[in-house]
Amino acid sequence: MDGSCALGLILSHANRPSLDASNEFIVSKSIRNPYDGIMNLRHLRTFVTIADAGGVARAATRLNLTQPTASRQIHALEAELDVPLFDRIGRRIQLTSEGEDLLLRSRHLLDEAEALAERARALKSGQVGVLRLGATPQLIESLLVDFLAQYQRRHPGVEVHPIEDGGVRLLGRLERGDVHLIITTERDERFRSRLLYPVYLLAVLPKNHRLSRRAALDIAEVADEPLLPLSRGFGSREWLYAACQVAHIRPRVFFDSAAPQTLIALAAGGYGIAMIPAGVLIPGGKVRAVPLLLSGAPIGRWQTVAWHPQRFLAPYAKHFLEELVVYTSRTYPNRDLTRRAPPLSQPKTPGR
């Protein structure tokens, strides 16, 4: 017998002949709570079931408890709450005014507890959760808008929160745990990753430019052209400068910006050739985009989705990752522009 038996004695028929045997339970006493202030949900469930069943015996049967156990649970709950929950009227029991008020609140608590348990089961199965995904503003626009719309329809319980930042800074966010996943072309041995698709460096020219009809351009062919690269901190700028160094070219930078659409607009106006990664949407009309090559080889990197192997990755995050890999195997930004370009070699990525 557990310690709660010391809370009181079950009244017998000899002592209380007016009580129905089905409604035997312990008289409440003003004693200190044996559970030290921690609400026992089983006791609340017994309370609600007795109120619904109209008696201890019937409630005990529904709960698969013995009648004395159900009685002890009610006594323990009354002691914890320090109010009587039931009155005895003849052979019946009836909720006290306090019991009626607390019954509604008890139902609410039990519903919330069940919802919490259901939420935990759903989280474990990967059906619901919050996923923080780091990506550049350009990638959110060109890739994630369409993908996330489809994903949310299939998985309404998963909230995907895009976190925008520059490509290099996203690595720091992943290290700090600000995000669960990042989409990046940067390589870092601290993280694991999966390949998504190749990202070529594109030369964006006005349609009336003398080089605009070319299927691709070698970097040597733009050596004397004013260039419009992205600002420092963007990966594509580093690709450009690395290629120029290999080709022994000093790039003529007319203007740089963190906004690729600004560079494209300047290119359309004839101010130079914009150096844009293929992850950026290229508007039709006044400009044409072609891959930029270095001695016949493409300039660029593979886009990857990366995560921190030392941090917990929820099942729904893993499911998201797999669906993104499948999605980008069929489509990705500016695929048509680079379809005929020389293939970009695939890097070795850290294991899954």
The answer to whether 167 touches 231, Cβ cutoff 8 Å, is: no
Does 348 reside within a domain?
no
Checking if the pLDDT of 17 tops 60, the result is no
For residues 212 and 263, membership in a common domain is answered with: yes
Per the structure, how many domains does the chain have?
A: 3
CB 268 within 8 A of CB 287: yes
What is the structure's pLDDT at 26?
A: 38
Q: Read off the tokens for 16.
A: 């209380």
DSSP letter at 285 equals S
SS (H, E, C) 289-347: EEEEEECCEECEEEEEEEECCCCCCCHHHHHHHHHHHHHHHHCCCCHHHHCCCCCCCCC
* Domain end (from 74, 100, 122): 122
Q: Which amino acid is at 30?
A: S
Q: What angle do CA 11, 14, 20 make, to 5 degrees?
A: 65
> What's the rounded mean pLDDT across residues 74-95?
87
320 and 229 inside one domain: no
In this structure, are 178 and 322 located in the same domain?
A: yes
For residue 333 the two structure tokens come to 């930004």
Q: Are residues 19 and 115 in the same domain?
A: yes
Asked whether residue 16 is domain-assigned, the answer is yes
Q: Find out whether 197 and 332 touch, Cβ atoms under 8 Å.
A: yes
Residue 30: domain span:
3-122
Rounded to the nearest angstrom, the gap between the alpha carbon of residue 38 and the centroid of all alpha carbons in its chain is 32
Q: Same domain for 7 and 109? A: yes
**CA-CA distance, 243 to 295, in Å (whole number)?**
10
Q: In whole angstroms, what is the distance from residue 82 CA to residue 32 CA?
A: 9
Amino acid, single-letter form, for residue 210: R
Specify whether 98 is located in the same domain as 113. Answer: yes
Amino acid at 324: L
Whether residue 234 sits in one domain with residue 174: no
pLDDT grade for 294, boundaries at 50, 70 and 90? very high
Domain assignment of residue 272, yes or no: yes
Q: What pLDDT shows up at residue 312?
A: 86
344 falls within a domain: no
Q: Are 280 and 142 in contact (CB under 8 A)?
A: yes
SS3 198: strand
Domain match, 254 and 284 both: yes
Centroid of chain to Cα 257:
31
Quick one: pLDDT at residue 91? Answer: 67
Residue 146 contacts residue 84 (beta carbons within 8 Å): no
188 and 52 fall within a common domain:
no
Task: Answer yes or no: is 347 within a domain.
Answer: no
In a domain, 89, yes or no: yes
Percentage of the chain lying above the pLDDT 90 cut: 61
More confident residue, 10 or 233: 233
Does 351 reside within a domain? no
Classify residue 137: in a domain, yes or no.
Answer: yes
- The CATH number linked to 158 is 3.40.190.10
- Residue ending a domain, among 122, 139, 163, is 122
Which tokens sit at 275? 């150096």
pLDDT for the residue numbered 351: 54
Place of tokens 């044996």: 34
User: pLDDT band at 27, cuts 50/70/90?
Assistant: very low
**Do 118 and 12 share a structural domain?**
yes
User: So what's the pLDDT on residue 23?
Assistant: 43
For residue 257, the 8-state DSSP code is B
CA 278/CA 291 separation, integer angstroms: 9
185 in the same domain as 324: yes
- Write the CATH number for 235: 3.40.190.290
* Residues whose CB is less than 8 angstroms from the CB of residue 175 and which lie 6 or more positions away in sequence, other chains included: 190, 308
**Cα torsion 220, 222, 226, 231: sign:** negative
Least trusted range by pLDDT, from 56-60, 218-222, 252-256, 302-306: 56-60
Hey, what amino acid is at 164? E
**Do residues 305 and 184 both lie within one domain?**
yes
- Which amino acid makes up residue 199? V
Is the pLDDT at 37 greater than 60, yes or no? Answer: no
- 320-350 tens-digit pLDDT: 999 999 999 999 999 998 888 899 988 876 6
The one-character DSSP state at 195 is E
Domain boundary among 107, 122, 137: 122
pLDDT at 120: 80
Q: In Å, how far are 18, 19, 26 from 12, measured between CA atoms?
A: 10, 9, 10
* Average pLDDT estimate for 120-149: 88
